[in-house]
Structure 1
């Protein structure tokens, strides 16, 4: 599925855009599509780090975090190291997963 988008730009902005697109080896339409994908679709590094820290706090191990976020183990380990944290032990992750599975759902709590 695709959506057609139309917008107006001042001439000076248009010429800068086309020049940058040419430098990147693509036409202006593809260049704008890349910008949108990078800005909207791709998570920012700080969003990835927040997700890593949230999953670590939940008790997941580095390989589990990496698999869940589609990252390498090294990328997860680096983010944890930068935050001053170490990877969870497998037993910690197992306990966390079991605790999540045993939490009552909203249907059962009511």
Structure 2
């Protein structure tokens, strides 16, 4: 299990425990956190689970694959270095303490 901190655009932080094997998106959805819509249910077919990974974590996460890169083109104000789709980040002990910042809106 990993502790993930989801920081809303307005600064409110939600610290939740997420089971290993789930995705960061599923952790938000299962805890009814605002700001991650996950319209496609985690199929990497939309960009509504977009977040900005905290700078301290960017290099610690596995890289983006081509599909995620393509979908990020549709996200609201993507940041080439920090933007990720939470449906593509698997939870494990290795990401315990991860901090993600939600954009102003999802599109």
Given the two structures, how large is their TM-score scaled by the length of structure 1? 0.23
Q: Which has the higher strand share?
A: 2
Q: Which has the higher helix share?
A: 1
Q: Greater relative contact order: 1 or 2 (C-alpha under 8 angstroms, separation 6 or more)?
A: 2
Given the two structures, how large is their TM-score scaled by the length of structure 2? 0.24
